[in-house]
Amino acid sequence: MEQVKTYSFRINDILKSYLDELGIELIDFKLEFGRFDGKVILADEISPDTCRFWDKTTGKKLDKDRFRRDLGDVEEAYHEIIRRLMGE
C-alpha cells in the first residue's frame, strides 16, 4: 500500500506541473493500480473521464462534470483538452 501512496503523490506532482503549463487546473483524479509480475503498476487511464480539469483562467469545467451536471458542450470540452495537450 505504501508503494501505491508513493506513486499517487508522484503522479499528482507530474500531472499538476504539466497541466499548469497548459493553463489547466487539476482539481482531483482517480487512479486504479494493479500488479504485473509482482510489481505495482498504474492500471487505469488518465483522462477527462477519470480527472476533473478546470480552465485556470475562466474556471470552465473541461471534464466529465459537464455531462454529469448537464452543462452541455461535453465534446467541445474534451476537444479543448486534446487541443492543449497537442500544443495546438
Query: How do residues 44-74 score in pLDDT, each as one tens digit?
Result: 888 888 899 999 999 998 888 776 767 767 7
pLDDT of residue 41: 93
* Beta strand spans in 3-76 (E): 24-29, 33-36, 39-42, 51-55
Tell me the residue range of the domain where 78 lies: 2-85
Cell of 34: 494493479
* Number of Cβ atoms within 10 Å of the Cβ of 9: 10
Look up the CATH number of the domain holding residue 64. 3.30.470.20
Domain count, the chain: 1
pLDDT of residue 62: 87
pLDDT of residue 67: 67
pLDDT digits (tens, 9 = 90+) for 18-27: 999 999 999 9
Query: Binning pLDDT at 50, 70 and 90, where does residue 17 land?
Result: very high
Query: Binning pLDDT at 50, 70 and 90, where does residue 11 land?
Result: very high
